[in-house]
Amino acid sequence: MPLLIDTDVIIAYLRDRPEAVSYLENLTGPLLISAVTVAELYAGVRDGAERTALDSFIQAFEVVAVEAI
């Protein structure tokens, strides 16, 4: 079953918080992040190596567009 991962969980994972690392690394199935989460992550990342690492990291997820209903 697909699971939409929140920005807070991603940030905790990237900061190497053990509970977030364990949680994400033990999930199975497709992992989704919203386009809003992607924007939030890029808003807080520094240019250079940090941005390059984020580019690679985001490739592990399917990005879901946000649509108005």
Bridge partners (DSSP) of residue 31 are 3
pLDDT of residue 1: 85
Contacts of 5 (CB under 8 A, 6+ apart): 24, 31, 32, 33, 37, 61
Domain 3-64 has CATH 3.40.50.720: no
Residue 11: the pLDDT is 93
Backbone angles phi, psi at 26, to 5 degrees: -100, 0
Nearest 5°: phi and psi at 45?
-95, 150
Predicted confidence (pLDDT) at residue 67 exceeds the cutoff of 90: no
In contact, 64 and 32? CB cutoff 8 Å: yes
Q: What angle do CA 62, 37, 56 make, to 5 degrees?
A: 55
Q: Is residue 68 scored above 80 in pLDDT? A: no
Residue-wise pLDDT tens digits, 27-40: 988 999 999 999 99
